[in-house]
Amino acid sequence: MSSNLFPPESSVVAEVLPSPNNGERRDGRRPDMILLHYTGMSDPDAALELLRARGSDVSCHYFVFEDGRIVQMVPESRRAWHAGQASWAGETDINSCSIGIEIANSGHDHGYPDFPKRQIAAVTALCRSIQIRHTIPAVRVLAHSDVAPSRKQDPGEKFPWRTLYDSGVGHWVKPAPIMNFGHVLSPGNRGETVAAFQKLLAEYGYDVDVTAEYDAVTREVVTAFQRHFRPERIDGIADPSTRSTLADLLANRGRTRTIGARSRSPMLQTTL
């Protein structure tokens, strides 16, 4: 049964502590997304217990402590319960297509500490090891906030996406600098330019309707975008820097690296 002990799927896993909270992936869907979370609780052990408690209805595949220790709770072939109501690139059953990683961090409501280097190194090694077993497109290593922008802000703007990118995990471009001039799109604006901007957000994967009105959803999506890609200022306003960073990401998307089973390099193996 799923709550029984199973062998760890990666050599970076220190311990398997199974969670009964899992099921079949819908229609045999194979995972092609990594979804990163923070626990948002001040006690990591309490967070771990919650994710393993029968009846809590939450779980994830991996849990990464602040000191870098990694626990696996659910086999990668199974559907863990971490995304909740979410959407990306037109898909709404995010749990069926993703592998969920919970990163111990008390979160925005409890001081939001920096992520320790050892913890980030562990998350990076874990993502790379997942990328060896599954083909995860770079653009599908995402934040919980990317797929549920109205409800979630984890892992948040302190998460060092660039560091992961430099090790071959995820998609990133250098954010365009913030300038105090240029055309700003903000809540309440309507028209063609807003529609064109919404279209680009949706093209990248965000769940936003092209309404031609800078509505509440657009603001939430822009906030999530900024947490991930332009963390210097998070205000939900599409300033030129935000729009230009999105354009760069889209332009660069076709050239992103997919590190799958075929690109197993000696460097990769020694890193693991």
Task: Tell me how far, at minimum, the Cβ of 144 lies from Zn ion, in Å.
Answer: 3
**Measured from the CB atom, is 155 or 236 closer to Zn ion?**
155
Place of tokens 């560091």: 163
* Nearest-angstrom CA–CA distance, 196 and 194: 5
Nearest by Cα to 37 from 196, 120, 149, 152:
152
36-75 residues near Zn ion, rule: CB under 5 A? 37
Distances (CA, A) of 77 to 22, 100, 229: 10, 12, 30
**Measured from the CB atom, is 154 or 207 closer to Zn ion?**
154
**Measured from the CB atom, is 50 or 268 closer to Zn ion?**
50
Query: Exposed, middle or buried by CB within 10 Å (0-12, 13-18, 19+), for 149?
Result: buried
Task: Tell me how far, at minimum, the Cβ of 17 lies from Zn ion, in Å.
Answer: 19
Nearest by Cα to 270 from 78, 129, 107, 86:
129
Helix (H, G, I), strand (E, B) or coil at 35: strand
Q: Which stretch binds Zn ion (CB under 5 A): 34-42, 108-116, 172-180, 221-229?
A: 34-42
**Measured from the CB atom, is 83 or 173 closer to Zn ion?**
83
Active site annotation includes 102: yes
Task: Tell me how far, at minimum, the Cβ of 69 lies from Zn ion, in Å.
Answer: 20
**Measured from the CB atom, is 52 or 144 closer to Zn ion?**
144
Task: Tell me how far, at minimum, the Cβ of 217 lies from Zn ion, in Å.
Answer: 19
Nearest by Cα to 216 from 157, 261, 149, 264:
149
Task: Tell me how far, at minimum, the Cβ of 107 lies from Zn ion, in Å.
Answer: 9
Token output for 121: 């190194």
* Nearest-angstrom CA–CA distance, 66 and 48: 13
How many of the chain's residues bind Zn ion (CB under 5 A)? 3
121-160 residues near Zn ion, rule: CB under 5 A? 144, 154
Catalytic residue chosen out of the listed positions 102, 213, 220, 232:
102
Judged by the rule CB under 5 A, the positions of this chain that interact with Zn ion are 37, 144, 154
- Give the catalytic positions in this structure: 102
